[in-house]
């Protein structure tokens, strides 16, 4: 049998073409980000924090404009007060919907932590507020089902919702091309409202974003792709001005909207993280490709399959065995720079229906742009692998994983 390092080098030789393609995407996106920095005349003064109400906070306001420029949108909210991807999505949905409106999801049931936001009972959910929810199942290939979308669509739909990444489902992430076709289809049905994309894990994976292909809003987390591994917290919402203004009134208060909001610690890492994001995402993608190819060679089913380029930074690997799945995740923790001595155990994590085992030995707590892995401990025992600030870190983690699985 070849050594683990020999095996990894063999995998890398097979991946040269996909690595080159990843570098090309990263360069395109780096130029796009740099152009936005120049267009918005970013200067040192934008890094300075404010206190109290935050009136005239130039760093905050310009950060929103910068993100809007990068995402080809009219306006943006970028705030450390958006606590996570789920919180960003929740604030945006509550800003757009009112009693009697319908939220229409095209991409199957949303991710675990957003389901109670939509469907929870007696917790202040959208359902409690009188918002209706209609969900279209994906077809047998894990794609949006246009026949069912046509059948279930109604004039009461106020917001069309698309989740780009897979969550804890066994499917590929959606490409921007697929999202664009879905946008075009619902417009052909006469829809004139907001097309809303949960873009978590998908930023800078392609040369375009959902707002380039017909989405009215994109929402995501700064401790995933867009923060480049440097943003310590926060989320972003970009899109059409009318929707951003409505969401801003929900983020703060209807009387003040986006005129207030201070952050005393300053904004350098939010700006610098966006600058780093195209390169950092490329590192994570290369790590995902390497892990995927290696696990496939060992006989494990991968999503996406190794003949495809990924459309987000997550990869799911099916084990059909609880011990193998949990050992895979534990090796990611042992290979981490932080808390490498910790043995991960499954627990009742807030917002999830099943026990979750999670490896996240990260500098920013829970940052899934950093090397991490998790999954619900239930059949078919799937590990969800994501992130990696450096390709070398992903490679080292694979060495440890192979020592357990080969």
Q: Name the domain boundary from 208, 241, 266.
A: 266
Query: What is the predicted pLDDT for the residue at 185?
Result: 98
**Does the structure show a pLDDT above 90 at 275?**
yes
Residues 180/171, Cβ–Cβ less than 8 Å: no
pLDDT single digits (tens) 139-195: 999 999 999 999 999 999 999 999 999 988 889 999 999 999 999 999 999 999 999
How much is the average pLDDT of 251-257?
A: 96
Number of structural domains found in the chain: 2
**Which band of pLDDT confidence, cut at 50, 70 and 90, is reported for residue 61?**
very high
φ, ψ for residue 197, nearest 5 deg: -115, 125
Q: Name the domain boundary from 222, 247, 266.
A: 266
* Torsion angle of the four alpha carbons 376, 379, 380, 386, in this order, in degrees rounded to the nearest 10: 10
**Domain assignment of residue 358, given as a range:** 4-28+274-405
396, containing H or E segment: helix 391-405
How much is the average pLDDT of 331-352?
A: 91
Query: What is the predicted pLDDT for the residue at 349?
Result: 80
CATH number of domain containing 55: 3.40.640.10
How much is the average pLDDT of 228-249?
A: 98
64, containing H or E segment: helix 58-70
Same domain, 122 and 238: yes
What average pLDDT does the structure give for the chain?
A: 96
Which residues fall within 8 angstroms of residue 330, CB to CB, at 6 or more apart?
343, 344, 359
Q: Is residue 34 part of a domain?
A: no
**Does the structure show a pLDDT above 90 at 2?**
no
Query: What is the predicted pLDDT for the residue at 354?
Result: 84
Among the residues of 210-263, which ranges form H helices? 241-251
Q: Name the domain boundary from 266, 295, 320.
A: 266
Same domain, 242 and 312: no
Locate 63 and state its tokens: 């950060």
Same domain, 262 and 278: no
Same domain, 288 and 348: yes
Same domain, 262 and 282: no
The distance in angstroms from the start CA to the end CA of the chain is 10
User: HEC states along 291-331?
Assistant: HHHHHHHCCCEEECCCCCCCCCCEEEEECCCHHHHHHHHHH
Same domain, 253 and 279: no
Residues 191/296, Cβ–Cβ less than 8 Å: no
Query: What is the predicted pLDDT for the residue at 188?
Result: 98
Q: Is residue 38 part of a domain?
A: no
Query: What is the predicted pLDDT for the residue at 314?
Result: 96
Same domain, 112 and 156: yes
* Least confidently predicted of 88-102, 174-188, 319-333: 319-333
Threshold 0.85, pTM exceeds: yes
**Does the structure show a pLDDT above 80 at 351?**
no
CATH number of domain containing 353: 3.90.1150.60
**Which band of pLDDT confidence, cut at 50, 70 and 90, is reported for residue 5?**
very high
Same domain, 261 and 291: no
Residue 337 CB neighbour total at 10 angstroms: 12
Q: Is residue 333 part of a domain?
A: yes
Same domain, 183 and 281: no
């Amino acid at each position: 049998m070849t050594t683990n390092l020999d095996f990894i080098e063999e995998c890398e030789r097979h991946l040269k073409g996909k690595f080159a393609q990843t570098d090309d995407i990263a360069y395109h996106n780096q130029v796009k980000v740099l152009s936005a920095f120049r267009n918005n005349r970013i200067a040192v003064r934008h890094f300075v924090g404010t206190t109290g109400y935050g009136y005239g906070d130039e760093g905050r306001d310009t950060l929103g404009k910068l993100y809007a420029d990068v995402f080809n949108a009219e306006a943006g909210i970028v705030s450390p007060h958006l606590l996570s991807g789920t919180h960003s999505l929740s604030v945006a949905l509550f800003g757009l919907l009112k009693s009697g409106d319908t939220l229409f999801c095209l991409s199957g049931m949303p991710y675990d932590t957003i389901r109670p936001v939509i469907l929870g009972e007696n917790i202040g959910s959208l359902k409690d507020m009188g918002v209706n929810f209609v969900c279209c199942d994906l077809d047998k290939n894990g794609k949006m089902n246009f026949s069912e979308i046509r059948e279930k669509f109604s004039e009461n739909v106020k917001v069309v919702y698309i989740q780009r990444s897979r969550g804890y489902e066994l499917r590929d992430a959606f490409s921007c091309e697929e999202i664009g076709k879905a946008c075009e289809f619902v417009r052909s049905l006469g829809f004139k409202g907001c097309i809303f994309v949960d873009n978590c894990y998908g930023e800078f994976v392609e040369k375009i974003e959902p707002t380039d292909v017909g989405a009215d809003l994109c929402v995501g987390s700064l401790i995933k792709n867009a923060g480049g591994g440097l943003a310590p917290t926060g989320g972003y919402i970009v899109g059409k001005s009318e929707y951003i203004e409505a969401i801003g009134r929900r983020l703060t208060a209807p009387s003040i909207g986006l005129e207030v909001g201070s952050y005393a610690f300053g904004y350098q890492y939010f700006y610098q993280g966006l600058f780093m994001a195209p390169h950092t995402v490329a590192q994570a993608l290369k790590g995902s490709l390497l892990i995927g190819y290696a696990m496939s060679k060992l006989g494990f089913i991968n999503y996406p399959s190794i003949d495809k380029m990924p459309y987000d930074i997550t990869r799911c690997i099916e084990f059909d065995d609880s011990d193998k799945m949990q050992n895979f995740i534990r090796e990611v923790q042992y290979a981490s720079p932080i808390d490498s001595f910790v043995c991960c155990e499954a627990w009742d994590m807030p917002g999830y229906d099943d026990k979750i085992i999670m490896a996240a030995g990260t500098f920013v707590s829970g940052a899934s742009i950093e090397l991490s892995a998790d999954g619900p401990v239930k059949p078919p025992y799937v590990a969800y692998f994501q992130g990696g600030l450096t390709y070398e870190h992903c490679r080292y983690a694979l060495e440890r994983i192979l020592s357990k699985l080969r």
